A and B are shown apart, each in its own frame.
Chain A
Amino acid sequence: QSALTQPPSASGSPGQSVTISCTGTSSDVGGYNYVSWYQQYPGKAPKLMIYEVSKRPSGVPDRFSGSKSGNTASLTVSGLQAEDEADYYCHSYTGSYNNFYVFGTGTKVTVL
């Protein structure tokens, strides 16, 4: 099971929006609503930002939203703030004995 494909980088100015894609297959992203997104600052542990494709855990700003179309999931950060500069990883269940779960390759978001 290969890692889900994300763009290496994305950027935007404060107040703008940025969307990160996460492309998989019908065996992972497209097959289940088990897509989640994580934010990670350098040297820190990941933090859950979105689960079940589009749900936000308590405490996550509503500037963060998730969606899915076919085999591609997306994370949109609206109204970019300096504190949003971080790495973002998508994640999906695969149901495959070889690897039940797979993460994305990661996207570095830069706030210009």
Chain B
Amino acid sequence: EVQLVESGGDLVQPGGSLRLSCAASGFTFGTYWMSWVRQAPGKGLEWVANIKEDESERNYADSVRGRFTIFRDNAKNSLYLQMNSLRVEDTAKYYCAREGVRAARDVWGQGTTVTVSS
């Protein structure tokens, strides 16, 4: 079964750091672009970042560039999101997603919740 499982979400103070993980199974992880997408409580979806199969290209949304870093370990079938200088507005459920044809996100994890609050 193709599956993505996120972990690492937590309550953190403004200015703090957190690392999210996404474990992939059921497909050849190293042959797909991967993304992080977030959803603030009661709000819509927001693309956060994506990364090429071999890590040679990474892209970020303006709202997180310079604070978040996306990376992956193909040997461990895992995707990560290092989040630094967290802000209250980063509070959201963070989803890991596989990118298929024409950047369509065809597999999603169940999400992990990040709450930034003092």
Contacts and interface: CB of A to CB of B under 8 A. Distances in A.
Interface of A: 1, 3, 33-34, 36, 38, 40, 44-48, 51-52, 55, 57, 89, 91, 93, 98-106
Contact of B111 (A45, A47, A51): A45
Given A45-B95, A100-B59, A106-B44, A36 B108 contact: no
Given A38-B105, A45-B109, A91-B45, 14 more contacts: A1-B62, A36-B102, A36-B104, A46-B95, A46-B108, A48-B106, A51-B101, A52-B104, A99-B61, A100-B47, A101-B47, A102-B47, A103-B37, A106-B44
A104 B43 CA distance: 11
A62 to B, nearest CB: 18
A28 B50 CA distance: 18
B102 A34 contact: yes
Nearest to B44: A106
Interface of B: 37, 44-47, 50, 59, 61-62, 95, 100-106, 108-111
A110 to B, nearest CB: 17
Nearest to A103: B45
A25 B49 CA distance: 22
A102 B46 CA distance: 7
B103 A34 contact: yes
Contacts of B61: 98-99
A40 B108 CA distance: 11
A98 B37 CA distance: 16
B110 to A, nearest CB: 6
B59 A93 contact: no
Nearest to A1: B62
B59 A46 contact: no
B110 A45 contact: yes
Most chain B beta-carbon contacts within 10 A, residue among A45, A91, A98: A45
Contacts of B46: 103
5 contacts: A47-B108, A57-B104, A91-B104, A99-B61, A99-B62
Contacts of B103: 34, 36, 93, 101
